[in-house]
Amino acid sequence: MTIERTLRAALLGLAAVVAQPPHMAAANDVRVVTSGTSATLNVPMNRAVVVESEEPFAELSIANPQIADISSLSDRTIYVLGRAPGITTLTLLDATGQLITNVEVRVAADVTEFKERLRQILPGENIEVRTANDGIVLSGTVSSTQKMQRALDLAERYAPERVSNLMSVAGVQQVMLKVRFAEMQRSVSKSLGTSLALGGSALGGDLGVQSGTNAGAPGGAQQSLLNGNLPATTENNGALLLGFDVGAVEVGVLLEALESKGMVRTLAEPNLTALSGQEARFLAGGEYPVPVSQEGGTVTVEFKPFGVELNFVPRVVDDDLINLELEAAVSSIDPSNGFQLDAFRIDAFSRRETSTTVEMRDGESFAIAGLLQDDFRDLSGQVPWLGDIPVLGALFRSAEYQRSQSELVIIVTPHLVTPTRGEALALPTDRVRPPSERDLFLNGRVSSSDRPSQGAAGEVARQDFSGSYGYVMD
């Protein structure tokens, strides 16, 4: 009976083993070792590292020999050579085949020399150097874009086209540019002309002679001279008419003189702020329509800007050293040099502009353009032979003198600036308020007598218009 029960139990156990799925049986026979990785070994490429084990090992293996090459120096010492960038695993086994440990081997480019050169070239800069696969990653902060570029150029020598830039530039990186246009024009013009008219009844009223130089009396004004009248078409500032009779002969002499002086002053001061490396544009003026002929006979309108223009690109290259690439211009409409085209009247432009690149420090000024022009013209004319007569020849001569001088200077001044609170800024309109009905109709004031008394606006409002006003900048 006992033997029968034992046989039945054995048959049931055999049936259970045969019916069990194959993958479950395999799972019970295989154990994956994941807790054996105990260290990470960093090996520079093309350099060797010697590793010592606390326990003696009997067998070594490397997962990818193309990344690292190994050899045993003793039963506790391993020689590891980095061959190519990458990550692989070093396995150590004891004499019984049991796992001692797995070591993660990371092979990267050798940046030891690069770090040393970086400290020598850029001392004091907070730059961190890391490796990523076969490249170099730079992070941290630098004091200027110029030093950042130096670090990148040096890294390219060690890892060409495999450099990642994660660095940032510290410090102020916004630039306000102040441009001053100053132009003075002076002109002087002088002229002297004479005209002589003769007439009378000595020959029955048929005698009449007229001569003149420069701006003398025009034809048809002879009788007016003899009658004691000044010509109506003269443009001179002063005229003197002398007349007398010599028997039956009437003599009229007209002296015309001109002297004019003029002076023109032009001043413009545009200010503009931009981020380092970004372009900024400024225009205070307008656009003038100009008709342009196209193919097929059609006419289109093209608008030309005029006024105060400023375009610039600032670059903070080192601490407070600023590189400026700028274009500045001041233009105005000049109707005197325009022309008429059918029904269109097109005016010309008077324009002063400059385009240059300069480098200076914060707060320094540079005269980027200047012009000193002196034009002189002297003209003397006379009636042939008669003008050479002593004393009386002055009546047959004229002289004209013109001189014009122009002086232009363009000065730029950059400033490193930071934002401030809005209430700390003063506007040109802060000191002026619309008048009340009492101020306007009773007191005849065009602005209110009440002025703000708090903040920067109140400080500016307490000044009168005879003092300085405008932008306030620390």
Predicted model pTM = 0.55
Structure tokens belonging to residue 421: 């609170």
Q: Which of 129-133, 156-160, 272-276, 464-468 has the lowest mean pLDDT?
A: 464-468
Q: How far apart are CA 66 and CA 316, in angstroms?
A: 46
Q: What pLDDT, on the 0 to 100 scale, is given for residue 327?
A: 92
pLDDT of 432 > 80? The answer is no
Q: Which of 369, 368, 398 is nearest to 383 (CA)?
A: 398
pLDDT band at 131, cuts 50/70/90? confident
Q: What is the pLDDT of residues 337-387, one digit of tens each?
A: 888 877 777 888 888 888 999 999 988 998 888 888 888 888 887 777 777
Say if CB 239 and CB 230 are below 8 A apart: yes
Query: Position of tokens 């004209």?
Result: 400
Q: What is the pLDDT of residues 214-233, one digit of tens each?
A: 444 444 444 454 454 545 44
Residue that wins the pLDDT comparison between 195 and 46: 46
Domains of the chain: 39-108 (2.60.40.1380), 111-169 (3.30.1340.30), 177-182+263-376+400-417 (no CATH), 185-258 (no CATH), 422-473 (no CATH)
* H helix intervals, 55-128: 112-121
Q: What pLDDT, on the 0 to 100 scale, is given for residue 414?
A: 93
pLDDT of 132 > 90? The answer is no
Q: How far apart are CA 307 and CA 181, in angstroms?
A: 12
pLDDT of 213 > 60? The answer is no
pLDDT of 26 > 50? The answer is no
pLDDT band at 251, cuts 50/70/90? low
pLDDT of 425 > 80? The answer is no
Whole-angstrom distance between the N-terminal and C-terminal Cα of the chain?
Answer: 112
Q: Which of 347, 402, 346 is nearest to 374 (CA)?
A: 402
Mean pLDDT comparison of 7-21, 138-152, 238-252, highest-scoring range: 138-152
Q: What pLDDT, on the 0 to 100 scale, is given for residue 445?
A: 82
